[in-house]
Structure 1
Amino acid sequence: MNEEFRITLLGEFTIEYKDSVVSDQTNRSKKVWTMLEYLIVYRKRFITQDELIDLLWPESTSRDPINTLKVMMHRVRDALDELEFDNSRQMILYRNGAYGWNQEFKCVTDVDEFQRLIHESELETDDISRKISLLLQAESLYQGHFLEKKSSESWVIPIAAYYRSLYNRVVTELGRILFEHKKYEQLSVVCQKAIILEPYEEQFYIYLIKVLISTGYLEKAMDLYHHVTEVFMRELGVTPSDELLALYNDVVKTIKTPEMDLSVIKSKLDESKGEIGCVFCEYEFFKLVYHLEARNIGRTGDSSNLCLISVVDKNTVSIPPRRALNRAMDALKTTIQYNIRSGDVFARYSVNQYLVMLPSTNNETGNMVAQRLIKAFRKEFSGIQIVLKYSIQKITPMKDRMKQS
């Protein structure tokens, strides 16, 4: 026999024979698919009945697990009958108390092809076009994580992690080569797919932002920067890397085209989005405002303060769970924006903290402002069960800092 079956394990699980396909999208028992997937993944050996029973019914106290397993195997063979293959009942063999894939039937899996293409791309050092082609073929095979529907099962987790690491390596290498050779359209497609599959891999966003900058879509690059920094702060509690910040600064420097007419420039500056209240800004911009305020109070002799407001749990010792934290941080942002003087600025400092600039305040008035914020929060959002903590510190004038150094 020389029969060949094409099998996908990355994303949707399918077995294809000629024009017929069986898939885990079909309405069958989850255990049917688990058993079939396990037999295929470990198709080079026979699997004992005990191993399959532990896989399918780890907590079971059945008095007759062997018979239960036989019933399940019958259902697996029923599923394989849908392939319209005359010898479907011979695809899985039974020998000496163990089940195994019939080695006379060749399996061509996407994971094997995926690894082969990556290996060939690593060996290719002379022909860059061929190297790109091999990497793109490997990338196209990765249509989802390994056995996506079984992602929480203990036997799947380490295998899925391995293939995810390979995929991330492929995309990173493609990003480097495609950007270097100015193949921006291909790189954009690769990165957009990668971001869907791996939404917390910053490097993929960096390459996509680079593409947008290089192709002149500066506003889109800025929007993507704001999106990724917000997502990473909310979901992971991390601030942008130095590389991402450098891209942001590049966009800020180049986003405005030369304009000789001052009246045109002024009209653009006068445009308003209709926002009221305190100004929320990026932390990088907040640092600039802070340094300007330090210079200003050094010149005028005025006093200003910095306020840090933190969201903690009811025990006041740790950060609340993510869902409660995100709700609280959104509510606190609204509270600050509408209870601080118009024109003042604030920024998100960490996953559970905001920094607020309090110009022309002393320690007493700074504390009054902070207490007013907490009172307003409690009045408006009384149902949110968290604790707000704050601290106030006087801003050191720039000239005094220079003397100290």
Structure 2
Amino acid sequence: MPNKIHITMFGQFSIAYRDKKLCENEYRGSKMMLLLQYLISQRGREITQNELIDLLWSDSKNPANALKTLVHRTRAVLDDMIPDGGRLIAGSHSSYTFIESNECVIDSSLFKEYINKAEDESLSRTRRISMYKKAISLYNSGYLAVTAGETWVQPINVYFHALYNSAVDKCAQLLYPMGKFSEIITLCERATMLDQSDEKMHANLIRAFVAMGEYERAAKQYNYIRTYLMEQYGAAPGAHLTELYELTVKPRNDVQNNLDAVIGDLSGDDSKERKGVFYCQYEIFKYIFRLYKRESMRLESKLSICLVSAVDNSGNELEDIKLLEKAMDKISFSISNSLRMRDVYTRYSRSQYLLLLLEADESSFNGIEERIMTRFRRSKTMDSVNVNFNFKEI
């Protein structure tokens, strides 16, 4: 399309016509580029003079005249690279708008067009995959990535990134029954480079690795996202991702008739089993809690929980992440050496552990706290860390 005006909104903003190109990196921080980006982003809508002044100037003595001069200069630059290019900016004085003529090819518009076609379920699977791939190939490091810090860009960026993630996920779902596991991995690994926290991408990768028999890579993928979510957000992976890991990463494809083998699989390596209180991931903890709660109701036995939090002197989460992790390791060690073998605990958030205490009630809470804190306070490097205990009998 040699006579088309190619406008790139994903990644680095640019306008290209034949062998001429207006690039953001050549005019970094210029008001002309910001004006073009805003008008193109809001194309089809008349932008008032006051709206543009608020966007571009905060301290100009004569902003209306400055805007008029800027629009004139921008039209002149467009005229130099595109025949009658200045016509793309319509209006004068009171309002302006960008005219998306037939010659314009805007990547963000194409992106949505391809996705709309891909979501037409009347098309063949192959055709839908082709449309999704075309859309995905256009998306490059976010909408107006260089200007992403601007307040007005952020909601648009979020919108397009959500569309991109959805397109990758839906494309992966279409590829899976066809056995195109390598393609799924390529698509989803690129998506995780742009957004590490999207659990759907990691779930797709785990499924693809398992389907290819690469269980070690699947396990590494799960451990990576679990660690990342805990470090960045103080949260564990969602139930869907955890259940996927539990059900698929360890292959159980054959009919098993040897109960000794089953028991061995359940028990693991007893020599490596930690003595004392049992530690598990939060999703497993929830199942254990429900089981113990049912048992305590049936037997009318005592059951309590406790939140153990690492905080600063003001009762807030520690800002020093390295100190927080050291404190959490020390608290974990203190818990594991202070409670009984039938008790259970888990990492509840970045700064909290959750304890499940059997045969414990209000009369034993002080003793439990004292045992844990006695071990914790043996480390003098933890003097600036406070540990809060919040007990509740079930």
Letter in 2 for 1:367: E
Offset of residue 326 of structure 1: 4.0
Deviations 1:353-403 (A, max 9, x none): 1246899999476333212244245x213455xx31125689x9xxxxxxx
Give 1:175's aligned residue.
172
Deviations 1:54-107 (A, max 9, x none): 1112x33x32113433554466468658xx726477355575425554666822
Using the size of structure 1 for normalisation, the TM-score is: 0.74
Offset of residue 12 of structure 1: 1.8
Deviations 1:131-179 (A, max 9, x none): 1111111111111221122223232233223322322321221121112
Contact residue 168 and residue 191 of structure 2 kept, 8 A: yes
Give 1:297's aligned residue.
none
Letter in 1 for 2:347: R
Give 2:104's aligned residue.
107
The alpha-carbon distance between structure 1 residues 156 and 290, as it changes in their structure 2 partners (threshold 3 A), is closer
* Aligned pairs for 1:231-380 within 5 A: 231-251=228-248, 253-254=250-251, 269=269, 281-283=280-282, 308-312=307-311, 314-316=313-315, 320=317, 324=319, 326-336=321-331, 338-339=333-334, 341=337, 347-355=346-354, 363=364, 366-376=368-378, 379-380=380-381
Offset of residue 312 of structure 1: 3.8
C-alpha distance in 2, partners of 1:389/1:79?
64
C-alpha distance in 1, partners of 2:62/2:314?
51
Give 1:38's aligned residue.
38
Structure 2: give runs of 5+ residues left out of the alignment. Answer: 294-301
The alpha-carbon distance between structure 1 residues 292 and 368, as it changes in their structure 2 partners (threshold 3 A), is farther
- Are 2:385 and 1:390 aligned? no
Offset of residue 202 of structure 1: 1.3
Give 1:194's aligned residue.
191
Contact residue 5 and residue 17 of structure 1 kept, 8 A: yes
Give 2:136's aligned residue.
139
Offset of residue 120 of structure 1: 1.4
Give 1:69's aligned residue.
67
SS at 1:10's partner residue? coil
Offset of residue 8 of structure 1: 1.1
Deviations 1:168-205 (A, max 9, x none): 32122112111222211111111112222232221111
Deviations 1:223-266 (A, max 9, x none): 221221222233334333232122221246428999x9x9xx99
Letter in 1 for 2:122: T
* Aligned pairs for 1:119-134 within 5 A: 119-134=116-131
Percent sequence identity over aligned pairs: 29
Contact residue 278 and residue 338 of structure 1 kept, 8 A: no
C-alpha distance in 2, partners of 1:197/1:137?
18
Give 2:382's aligned residue.
381
C-alpha distance in 1, partners of 2:374/2:73?
67
Deviations 1:266-286 (A, max 9, x none): 9x94997xx999996534566
* Structure 2 counterpart of 1:157, from 150, 154, 159: 154
Contact residue 192 and residue 198 of structure 2 kept, 8 A: yes
Q: Which has the larger displacement, 336-345 or 230-239?
A: 336-345
C-alpha distance in 2, partners of 1:71/1:24?
20
Contact residue 306 and residue 392 of structure 2 kept, 8 A: yes
Q: Which has the larger displacement, 247-256 or 190-199?
A: 247-256
Contact residue 222 and residue 251 of structure 1 kept, 8 A: no
Contact residue 191 and residue 205 of structure 1 kept, 8 A: yes
SS at 2:207's partner residue? helix
C-alpha distance in 2, partners of 1:90/1:288?
66
Contact residue 143 and residue 157 of structure 2 kept, 8 A: yes
SS at 1:190's partner residue? helix
Give 2:86's aligned residue.
90
Offset of residue 210 of structure 1: 0.8
* Aligned pairs for 1:2-41 within 5 A: 3-26=3-26, 28-41=28-41
Letter in 1 for 2:377: K
The alpha-carbon distance between structure 1 residues 85 and 293, as it changes in their structure 2 partners (threshold 3 A), is closer
RMSD: 4.4
C-alpha distance in 1, partners of 2:76/2:129?
42
C-alpha distance in 2, partners of 1:132/1:86?
35
Aligned residues: 374
The alpha-carbon distance between structure 1 residues 368 and 132, as it changes in their structure 2 partners (threshold 3 A), is same
Letter in 2 for 1:65: P
SS at 1:193's partner residue? helix
- Are 2:47 and 1:50 aligned? no
Contact residue 90 and residue 98 of structure 2 kept, 8 A: no
Give 2:296's aligned residue.
none
Contact residue 10 and residue 146 of structure 1 kept, 8 A: yes
